[in-house]
Structure 1
Amino acid sequence: MTLNILFLSITIKKREMSIEEAAHQEQIKKIYEETKNRQISVHRIMY
């Protein structure tokens, strides 16, 4: 009888964000909030 055992180790490390990536994420969040507020105001006008 042959027993083959494979050991696998996975390491997950949190990725550091660069200043450019952080600024880009902040810009995306700002645009998302503006769009959401615009949709809410249009919805209020129509109903």
Structure 2
Amino acid sequence: MTLNLLFFTITLKKRELTIEEEMHNQVVENLYEENRRKINSYMNQL
């Protein structure tokens, strides 16, 4: 996508993730889901 404003050109493009970043994101997502399940389980016991 290109946007021209007052003689300035701004170009946005999607950044590619490295394998390490993708693996890290997956670990974080799994931890988040696990904690969410634990909280739900705890709240259901109350």
State the TM bucket, normalised to the shorter chain.
Answer: 0.7 to 0.9
Q: TM-score, normalised by structure 2?
A: 0.85
Please identify runs of 4+ aligned residues in structure 1 that moved more than 6 A: none
TM-score normalised per structure 1: 0.83
Aligned length in residues: 41
- Structure 2: how far apart are the matches of 1:9 and 1:27? 37
Which amino acid in the other structure matches residue 10 of structure 2?
I
Cα RMSD (Å): 0.7
The amino acid that maps onto 1:14 is: K
Letter in 2 for 1:40: N
SS in 1 for 2:8: coil
The structure with the larger Rg is 1
Structure 1 unaligned runs (5+)?
1-5
Q: Give, in whole Å, the separation in 1 of the partners of 2:25 and 2:10.
A: 28
Q: Secondary structure at the match of 1:9?
A: strand
| Partner of residue 42, structure 2 | 42
